Structure 1
Amino acid sequence: MRGSRVRTFWGAMLILLFTIMMVLTGCSTSQKNTEAEKTQTSAETKGQEIRTIKHEMGETEIQNTPKKIVTLELSFVDSLNALGINPIGIADDNKKDMITKLVDHEIDYSSVGTREQPNLEVISSLQPDLIIADAERHKGIYKDLQQIAPTIVLKSRESTYQENLDSFKTIAEAVNQQEVAEKRLSEHEKTIQELKSKLNVDSNITVLPAVVRDTSFQAHTTSSYDGELLEHMGLKIAIQKEEPYVEMNLEQLVEINPDVLLLANNEGKLLTDEWKDNPLWKDLKAVKNGKVYSVDRDLWTRFRGVVSAEAIAKDTLTMLNEK
């Protein structure tokens, strides 16, 4: 009788011990599963990081790192190029050769029409995950663009040199390339300062960049993109104004009488062609001293950006240092 009770006791103990072991094993497994779920959730959250980008039209939330980017101004192509990124869509004014000149390598992209009137249907068909638009040209279609993809609106067409650099930083933030941008900007400033140190000109000479069309002469001031860049190189811009551009006639140009003229000529007939036989034109210091230079219209007035600025600076050094 007693032996039977002992066996029953130990049997019960074994069952209890087995039950405890099963519970502990279950708890351990549950804990491991919970930790695994946490790790997976953390990884997914990191992979789906949402960032808020401030821009000229407010704030835009961008998830992950954009891969399919559409640019509606040429300076944004320059910025992405400086970051080692190729856009899938570009408002190229239906001039692919212009993009070939802007970027030093082949880009497989789709034209989305002109910068002034980009084609929304084509943009939508590309299914972009980021659109970069210009504050002046595209604010009227901002809501339409936002319906297609997250859109940031930045200064480009009317930007100063510094504003262009600020836009570059914002683009870098939007595409998760802040460290690359910081390094590139450091290299850029070093390049500009090196070119500046090689300039062999009198610090008192005045320089006037301008765009010449068939019926207009548009002088660029210290507040223009190229004017501010040239000032950054240590040159004295002939017109000090808050407005970036000033329309001038020949008499007004004679009053300014710059030492150097840097003319971004439009295609075809030019207003200066009519001026060349005029004694007032011939009496300009820049004309008499052979300091009238024709510069690339695309590079000097359309492209704008880190890479383009360095090319402009190199152009300037070559022209002004010539004997």
Structure 2
Amino acid sequence: MGESYRAIDATNTELHLSKPAERIVCLTATGIDILAELGLEPVGYLAQGIADRPEFFGDRAQQFTSVGSWMLPNLKAIRTLQPDLILGWRFPHRLYQHWLRQIASTYLMSGSGYDIALARLRGVARLTGRDTVAETAIQQLETQIETYRTAIPANLQKTVLMMGGSTLNLLSASHFCDE
């Protein structure tokens, strides 16, 4: 039996691919960040998002097929792309997981924080056969953080508070923060 590509997503669903995913549809900006870090490009992405920013894919993002919006992915457009893997976020894509998983293996993400971000990167790396690329990126990041940590005197080090959210967060009066 050949090599196996396995990962467990944020819904505790185990994904098992017989070969590394190559055709990936991405329904979340986090997925775009992960794919860029792994040296991969999605075949489909959202009608609006971050893919066209220079730090991600720049003008190459115009080649990605639009697959709707974050809240309303276009299942027909996704199916047409014949993906091996779909990257989404637990909310709202868990609402569509039944249909998405009929199209392709679907890796749903959620949560925040450094360790969770590394776990997501490693999970997608396992599904795409890019474990070494992920570990190299993690090592480079940790080296860079340590360089900054040692370069800044302890009395000048600051706590960084990061906040994020969307219109949905405003409507529900809920926001997430990481320290």
For Structure 1 versus Structure 2, the TM-score category normalised by the shorter chain is 0.7 to 0.9
Aligned counterparts of 2:165 and 2:134: Cα–Cα separation in 1: 34
Contact in 2 for aligned 1:53/1:62 (Cα 8 Å): no
Offset at residue 200 of structure 1 (A): 5.7
Q: Report deviation, 1:121.
A: 1.0
Aligned amino acid, residue 51 of structure 1: Y
**CA positional deviation for 1:136:** 2.4
The amino acid across from 1:183 in the alignment is T
List gaps (5 residues or longer) in structure 2: none
Is 1:137 the counterpart of 2:92? The answer is yes
- How does 1:201-220 map onto structure 2 within 5 Å? 202-203=155-156, 208-210=161-163
Equivalent residue in structure 2 for 1:109, among 47, 59, 64 = 64
AA aligned opposite 1:164: A
Q: Distance in 2 between matches of 1:133 and 1:187?
A: 26
Q: 1:185 aligns with which of 138, 141, 144?
A: 138
CA distance in 2, matches of 1:218, 1:149: 32
Structure 1 regions of 5+ residues with no counterpart?
A: 1-44, 228-323
Structure 1, residues 224-280: CA drift from partner, whole Å, max 9, x if none? 2xx3xxxxxxxxxxxxxxxxxxxxxxxxxxxxxxxxxxxxxxxxxxxxxxxxxxxxx
Q: Classify 1:197/1:87 alpha carbon distance in 2 versus 1 (closer, same or farther; 3 Å).
A: same
| Contact 1:131–1:149, Cα closer than 8 Å, also in 2 | yes
Match of 1:146 in 2: 101
Q: Could you tell me which of 42, 58, 77 is aligned with 1:87?
A: 42
CA distance in 1, matches of 2:35, 2:136: 14
Give the structure 1 partner of residue 122 of structure 2. Answer: 169
RMSD between aligned residues: 2.9
Q: CA 1:213 to 1:82, structure 2 compared with 1: closer, same or farther past 3 Å?
A: closer
> Does the Cα contact within 8 Å between 1:60 and 1:152 map onto a contact in 2?
yes
Count of aligned residue pairs for this structure pair: 171
2:112 to 159, 170, 175: 159
TM-score (norm 2): 0.80
- 1:161 offset after TM fit, Å? 2.5
Instruction: State which drifts further: 175-184 or 190-199.
Output: 190-199
**Aligned-pair distance for 1:100?**
1.7
Q: 1:199 offset after TM fit, Å?
A: 3.7
Which structure is richer in relative contact order (CA contacts within 8 A, separation 6 or more)?
A: 2
For the residue of structure 2 that corresponds to 1:113, the secondary structure is coil
User: Alpha carbons of 1:165 and 1:209: their partners in 2 closer, same or farther (altered >3 Å)?
Assistant: closer
Q: What is the identity, as a one-letter code, of the residue corresponding to 1:80? A: L
* 1:186–1:122 Cα change, 3 Å: same
Instruction: State how far apart, in whole Å, the 2-side matches of 1:219 and 1:159 are.
Output: 12
AA of the residue aligned to 1:112: V
Asked if 2 retains the 8 angstrom alpha-carbon contact of 1:139 and 1:153, the reply is yes
Q: Does 1:119 align with 2:119?
A: no
- Correspondence for 1:55: 9
Aligned equivalents of 2:175, 2:102: Cα separation in 1: 39
| Cα offsets for 1:258-317 (capped at 9, x unmatched) | xxxxxxxxxxxxxxxxxxxxxxxxxxxxxxxxxxxxxxxxxxxxxxxxxxxxxxxxxxxx
Distance 1:213 1:173 in 2: 30
Larger helix proportion, structure 1 or 2?
Answer: 1
Alpha-carbon distance in structure 2 between the residues aligned to 1:202 and 1:53: 41
Q: Which SS does the other structure have where 2:51 is aligned?
A: helix
Q: How does 1:247-262 map to 2 (within 5 A)?
A: none
**For residues 82 and 153 of structure 1, do their structure 2 counterparts lie closer, same or farther at Cα, with a shift above 3 Å needed?**
same
1:65 aligns with 2:50: no
Instruction: Tell me how far apart the structure 2 counterparts of residues 206 and 60 of structure 1 sit (CA, whole Å).
Output: 37
User: 1:218–1:200: structure 2 CA closer, same or farther, 3 Å change rule?
Assistant: farther
* Alpha carbons of structure 1 residues 197 and 154: separation in structure 2 relative to 1, 3 Å: same
Provide closer, same or farther for how the CA distance between residues 204 and 80 of structure 1 changes in structure 2, counting only shifts above 3 A.
Answer: closer
Secondary structure of the corresponding residue to residue 72 of structure 2: coil
Identity of matched residues, %? 25
